[in-house]
Chain A
Amino acid sequence: MIASAPARATKRIAAPASTPAAIETEALGKRYGRHAALVDLDLRVRRGEVFGFIGPNGAGKTTTIRLLLDLIRPTSGRASVLGLDVRRDGVEVRRRVGYLPGDLALYEDLTAAQQLAFLARLRGRPELDPRPLAERLALDLHRPVKALSRGNKQKVGLVQAFMHDPEVLILDEPTTGLDPLIQHEFAAMVGEARERGRTVFLSSHVLSDVERLADRVGLLRAGRLVLVDDVGALKARVTRRIELHFADPPPAGAFAGLAGVQAVEQAGERVTLTVNGPVDAVLKRAATFRTLTLASHEPDLEDIFLQLYEGGGPDGR
């Protein structure tokens, strides 16, 4: 499986146009009466990437995901998964997708093993063995679902989503209720899925989750996609703070007017800069003095989010 990953990648580069996107939506919209849950969503998730879909609760993440699974129907636009229309070819789509619902509910009177066996039979794959995944996540398969904690139920949800090694994983708030150790194991599972050429689409309102796992992120707010970008590029374009400590106080104004520098605070040999975008110019100037320490406060997506929201985003509200 892992050996085939480079072959897939090569193929994708050789014929990018002929391979349908993992997920593609065109002007996808969902209204409930006068309330617009999702407005004109144009989204393209590439094959083999981990895509983070983030936004506050009620932004439309779950609505989008349930549209992709054909559990609800759009009021406008269309969506396809692996080049298949989610409405017309829904059965084939769902055969090739693994899904973790955001509001996970299981059959309370079954054991975890019975629950998973039932879902495997519904997939026409009764031979699927949940034990390796259950072992990784430290899930006891023989306990009845009603006796499981929130976190353990979430593990059952993760096992059933990953169990058939689907081409596309659609995970709605996957880390809910998981303790840090298991979150780490989950991150490894996502990484391995990507290595095998799988696509992972995961939503979260916990931005640090997505930041660690995703190649690209899409920000959703009030039913609208505010932006889509590489995690790296997104970080590069936002404002961060850099603290420099020099052997001797640099001359006043040494850092003023450099590319990207928005504010300078100087107190003797300590200089604190607010920098937007690449830090190249700042580093080059700093190198002309004897620099003792340098500390950069990495912006997390929370900061990016706040900046975007304060800036109002593209639709200016």
Chain B
Amino acid sequence: MGASVLAHTLRERRRGLLGWAIGVAALTALIAVYWPSVRDSPDLQSFTRKLPEAMRALVGGGDYATATGFLNAELFAFMMPLLFLVVAIGMGARAVVGEEDRGTIDLLLSTPLTRRRMVVEKALGGVLVLLALGLVLLAALLLGDAVVGMGIPAARLAAISLAVVLIALPFGALALLLGCATGSHSLALGVTSAAAVAAYMLNALAPLIGSLARWQDASPFAWYASGDVLAGRLTVAHTALLIGTALVLAAAAVAAVERRDLRT
């Protein structure tokens, strides 16, 4: 049987992957070319320093004085994780439900393939697509850094590229679980997107709202901590939390689809 479903998943995703890769590279390039003018603009830097704390929290700290602060605010606090989450949630929601919607699941599972193996291979395929996208991101960052001279160590660019992949995993896995449990593509997509927005807002607003503060560490975005990662602090604990949550959700997805009637 090999890894036929995995290979099939990658084959199906390659055209989409190409589109997203272009998007990731273009966004990175666009932000990078702004860096020299931001660096040479003291007015902008004093402006962001004077922003209310709530605004600064929402735009990733708003530190435009350093290249890492600038990249964090413009790229990694919001836009880049958003792109990776959209890709991950889309793949997760479609993984099994897509086969049901198209009606191809009958043939797929009329072979000796188990449902568990189907889910595992499709999930691995999704992870590989995200890793490939992470590599594209890293290549774009390295190139951008070299061209505009941001002077960020390559190891930190690699760490932040990995972190963006990691933050996408639990949400992709949640979409996978909801699809496996309900058989509904729109429900998996909608609920997971809402959960992602809630997790993002919780992490961004918790420092400002006293009652939320103690819940901040429950948000995967707190584990993502792009500012820390760009400052050279990708922690084992946060990495383990992101991967561990994704694994638990994926295991639940297997259990959910094993007990369900498959749709025609």
Chain A residues in the interface with B (C-beta under 8 A): 62, 66, 69-73, 90-92, 94-95, 97, 99, 101, 103-109, 118-119, 121-124, 157, 160
Query: In the bound complex, do residue A107 and residue B114 qualify as a contact, i.e. CB atoms below 8 Å apart?
Result: no
Cα A190 to Cα B201 in complex, Å, equals 62
Cα A120 to Cα B2 in complex, Å, equals 11
A94 CB contacts on chain B under 8 angstroms = 109-112
Cα A95 to Cα B112 in complex, Å, equals 5
| Chain A residue with the shortest CB-CB distance to B259 | A73
Query: In the bound complex, do residue A103 and residue B112 qualify as a contact, i.e. CB atoms below 8 Å apart?
Result: no
| Chain B residue with the shortest CB-CB distance to A98 | B110
Query: In the bound complex, do residue A97 and residue B110 qualify as a contact, i.e. CB atoms below 8 Å apart?
Result: yes
Contact among A66, A92, A122, A160 for B264, CB-based, below 8 A: A66
Given A94-B111, A124-B112; A101-B106 close (CB under 8 Å) = yes
Cα A157 to Cα B110 in complex, Å, equals 12
Query: In the bound complex, do residue B111 and residue A105 qualify as a contact, i.e. CB atoms below 8 Å apart?
Result: no
A72 CB contacts on chain B under 8 angstroms = 261-262
Query: In the bound complex, do residue A69 and residue B104 qualify as a contact, i.e. CB atoms below 8 Å apart?
Result: no
Chain B residues in the interface with A (C-beta under 8 A): 1-2, 4-5, 8, 12, 102-114, 259, 261-262, 264
B110 CB contacts on chain A under 8 angstroms = 69, 71, 94, 97, 99, 101
**30 sample A-B contacts, Cβ–Cβ < 8 Å, listed by A number:** A69-B109, A70-B109, A71-B110, A91-B114, A92-B112, A94-B109, A99-B110, A101-B103, A101-B106, A101-B110, A103-B103, A103-B264, A104-B107, A105-B102, A105-B103, A105-B104, A106-B104, A107-B8, A107-B102, A107-B104, A119-B111, A121-B1, A121-B4, A122-B4, A122-B112, A123-B1, A123-B111, A124-B1, A157-B107, A160-B107
Complex A-B, nearest 4 residue pairs according to Cβ-Cβ distance, in ascending order: A105-B103, A122-B111, A72-B261, A99-B110
- Shortest CB distance B14–A (Å): 11
Cα A192 to Cα B260 in complex, Å, equals 37
Contact among A62, A91, A101, A106 for B112, CB-based, below 8 A: A91
Cα A134 to Cα B169 in complex, Å, equals 43
B1 CB contacts on chain A under 8 angstroms = 121-124
Contact among A92, A103, A121, A160 for B2, CB-based, below 8 A: A121
Cα A157 to Cα B114 in complex, Å, equals 21
- Shortest CB distance B93–A (Å): 19
| Chain B residue with the shortest CB-CB distance to A30 | B261
Query: In the bound complex, do residue A122 and residue B113 qualify as a contact, i.e. CB atoms below 8 Å apart?
Result: yes
Query: In the bound complex, do residue A101 and residue B107 qualify as a contact, i.e. CB atoms below 8 Å apart?
Result: yes
| Chain B residue with the shortest CB-CB distance to A75 | B261
A71 CB contacts on chain B under 8 angstroms = 105-106, 109-110, 261-262
Cα A109 to Cα B16 in complex, Å, equals 14
Query: In the bound complex, do residue A123 and residue B109 qualify as a contact, i.e. CB atoms below 8 Å apart?
Result: no
Query: In the bound complex, do residue B107 and residue A106 qualify as a contact, i.e. CB atoms below 8 Å apart?
Result: yes
Cα A127 to Cα B107 in complex, Å, equals 19
- Shortest CB distance A293–B (Å): 51
Given contacts A72-B261, A97-B110, A109-B12, 8 further A-B contacts (CB under 8 A): A66-B264, A104-B103, A104-B107, A105-B103, A106-B107, A122-B111, A123-B111, A124-B112
B5 CB contacts on chain A under 8 angstroms = 122
Contact among B12, B108, B259 for A122, CB-based, below 8 A: B108
Which one of B2, B8, B261, B262 has the highest number of Cβ atoms from chain A below 10 Å of its Cβ? B261
A121 CB contacts on chain B under 8 angstroms = 1-2, 4
- Shortest CB distance A170–B (Å): 9
Cα A107 to Cα B1 in complex, Å, equals 18
Which one of A62, A101, A105 has the highest number of Cβ atoms from chain B below 10 Å of its Cβ? A105
Which one of B8, B102, B110 has the highest number of Cβ atoms from chain A below 10 Å of its Cβ? B110
- Shortest CB distance B110–A (Å): 4
B2 CB contacts on chain A under 8 angstroms = 121
- Shortest CB distance B140–A (Å): 29
- Shortest CB distance B227–A (Å): 42
Contact among A62, A73, A97, A118 for B8, CB-based, below 8 A: A118
Cα A146 to Cα B262 in complex, Å, equals 24
A105 CB contacts on chain B under 8 angstroms = 102-104, 106-107
- Shortest CB distance B120–A (Å): 14
- Shortest CB distance A16–B (Å): 29
- Shortest CB distance B11–A (Å): 9
A103 CB contacts on chain B under 8 angstroms = 103, 106, 264
- Shortest CB distance B255–A (Å): 14
Cα A103 to Cα B105 in complex, Å, equals 11
- Shortest CB distance A101–B (Å): 4
A108 CB contacts on chain B under 8 angstroms = 102
B102 CB contacts on chain A under 8 angstroms = 105, 107-108
B113 CB contacts on chain A under 8 angstroms = 122
Cα A30 to Cα B64 in complex, Å, equals 64
A123 CB contacts on chain B under 8 angstroms = 1, 111-112
Cα A95 to Cα B109 in complex, Å, equals 11
| Chain A residue with the shortest CB-CB distance to B104 | A105
- Shortest CB distance B8–A (Å): 6
A157 CB contacts on chain B under 8 angstroms = 107
Cα A299 to Cα B108 in complex, Å, equals 40
| Chain A residue with the shortest CB-CB distance to B118 | A122
Query: In the bound complex, do residue B107 and residue A62 qualify as a contact, i.e. CB atoms below 8 Å apart?
Result: no
